[in-house]
Structure 1
Amino acid sequence: MAKLEVVENQAAYVLHSRPFRDSSLLVHLLSKDHGRVNVIAKGARKQSGKRQARQPLQALLALQVDWQGRSDLKTLLRWESRSQPLMLQGDRLYSALYINELLMRLLPENDSAAELFEPYETCMKALDSNCDLQPLLRCFELNLLTALGYGLDFEHSEGDAPIHSDGYYYWQTSGLFIPAGNRNNAYRGEHLMAIEQRDFSDSAVLLCAKQLMRQVFDHLLDHKPLKTREFVRQMQQQSVGVSKHD
């Protein structure tokens, strides 16, 4: 029989939750020391007694938790809110859900990914402020790629040749950049160098980073669409439809 694992006083965020059996929830957590963990919150859907005072176990909630279990699916023993729920709306809410979906799709269960928790928490707090969304998202995407062992080499192209600021490059699914024969759909070297430094002060660099991250993550996701992205697209189409009839 597998050894019983008991974890106490672990900081975590709810990535996603859904009903499980009659009154419980299956909750996907991003924890500080244990990475992505799946837990069963028994009776969490019952709103009676002590549970009435708790925040529902919904996405983006910051928690302090205890759990135990012998398998990959743990039992949540205790949970308490660490802070007030994030009051996100519009693009900021969609951005947070986009990040959560990336983690759900790409981060292996029980992979410690300790280097990812702090950037995630920083990102969530920043989304709750007036920060510029696009640089924030690009920085987190780069952090996620590093945590997945897929960090990009912005200094060298294929064959270990240096990337030149005035050169143009294509990204390959092998993770390497190769010199481009022309500028069409290619990334400029100086923009790649700026991305490595997380310097998004130039709008051209920010656009380059967005296009590159879309290409890389589409590959990692096997070109299967993100539900968050599809939802945003539908909302935008509905908004256009409403405006045409105003």
Structure 2
Amino acid sequence: MAKLQARGYVLHTRAYRETSVIVEFFTPQFGRISAVAKGARGSGKSDRKSLLQPLQLLSFELAGRSQLKNLGIAEAIRNPWPLRGNCLYSAFYMNELLMRALPETEPVSLLFEQYQSSLEHLASLSENDSLVNIEPVLRSFELMLLQELGYLPDLAHDAQTGEHIDANQHYTFIAEQGFLPCPSTQAYAIQGTDLIAIEAREFTPSARKTAKHICRQALLPIIGDKPLKSRELFLSHTGQ
């Protein structure tokens, strides 16, 4: 039986048969990959159950030739990230995005690095930290996700002429096409200065709002219009 060695984060678990669970992992070498953890809900496997929690970084062994692998030995590489409040909901949002957007078994090493740095950044904030500090983390993650999937629009060039974005111009965003010049009076007109800031990952108040609009529109063809549970939790917690 073929065996694979991997490291990655637990994204999600769900019950499977009588005593097992299906674990969704996020790894740099295989992207999103599923495995059956046999007996993980049994009384004799409480140690394994405690390991298979979201935001836990593990080294583990996978066996089997089918797409759904069997989970072998699993060990914690580090303690789970100590996230609470807004920061925890933000991490759950990233997990749900990965579950909805990533195809199985496609390597995404740059996105994995961005995910880890995002968790580290969130862990450095307080549980009720302002969205001013949290939103740049989420927007940077979304932009990297779009880049890895090939859906990131060209933030630096006019999609119609190929010219560099003009700071004094306004643009409309069309998913899977890019940014086209438009009158400043048009609904959702985007300032060129915001696009330049987002390209440089400089999230001014205006750029944060614009980046949120762009990411939401660009992600729609990937994740669909079914509401994200984590987003609803986050909004109910922040009251926004």
Distance 1:82 1:47, change over 3 A: farther
Q: Equivalents in 2 of 1:188, 1:52: separation in Å?
A: 53
Contact 1:141/1:213, CA 8 A, preserved across alignment: yes
Q: Which region of structure 1 is more displaced relative to structure 2, 217-226 or 21-30? A: 217-226
| Structure 1 partner of 2:44 | 48
Structure 1 unaligned segments of length 5 or more: list them: 241-246
The 5 A counterparts of 1:202-213 are 202-213=204-215
1:70 Cα deviation after fit: 0.7
Q: Equivalents in 1 of 2:115, 2:65: separation in Å?
A: 27
| Structure 2 partner of 1:69 | 64
Q: Equivalents in 2 of 1:172, 1:63: separation in Å?
A: 40
Specify which of 177, 180, 194 is matched with residue 178 of structure 1: 180
Q: Look up the equivalent residue of 1:205 and give its one-letter code.
A: A
Equivalent pairs, count = 232
Q: Equivalents in 1 of 2:85, 2:2: separation in Å?
A: 40
Q: Secondary structure, in 3 states, of the residue corresponding to 2:60?
A: strand
1:117 Cα deviation after fit: 1.2
Distance 1:196 1:35, change over 3 A: same
Contact 2:63/2:70, CA 8 A, preserved across alignment: yes
| Structure 2 partner of 1:197 | 200
Q: Equivalents in 2 of 1:46, 1:23: separation in Å?
A: 5
Q: Equivalents in 2 of 1:62, 1:40: separation in Å?
A: 17
1:187 Cα deviation after fit: 0.9
1:66 Cα deviation after fit: 0.7
Cα deviation per residue 1:36-95 (whole Å; 9 max; x = unaligned)?
00000111112427x537734121111111101111100011111111122221111110
Q: Equivalents in 1 of 2:32, 2:235: separation in Å?
A: 28
Instruction: Give % identity.
Output: 36
Q: Establish whether residue 7 from structure 1 lines up as the match of residue 4 from structure 2.
A: yes
1:236 Cα deviation after fit: 5.6
| Structure 2 partner of 1:116 | 111
Q: Equivalents in 1 of 2:216, 2:48: separation in Å?
A: 41
Distance 1:175 1:61, change over 3 A: farther
Q: Secondary structure, in 3 states, of the residue corresponding to 1:55?
A: helix
Q: Look up the equivalent residue of 1:137 and give its one-letter code.
A: L
TM-score, L = length of structure 2 = 0.89
Q: Equivalents in 1 of 2:48, 2:67: separation in Å?
A: 29
Contact 1:29/1:37, CA 8 A, preserved across alignment: yes
- Higher RCO (Cα < 8 Å, 6 or more apart): 2
Contact 1:39/1:73, CA 8 A, preserved across alignment: yes
| Structure 2 partner of 1:140 | 141
| Structure 2 partner of 1:35 | 31
Q: Secondary structure, in 3 states, of the residue corresponding to 2:50?
A: coil
1:124 Cα deviation after fit: 1.3
Q: Establish whether residue 91 from structure 1 lines up as the match of residue 86 from structure 2.
A: yes
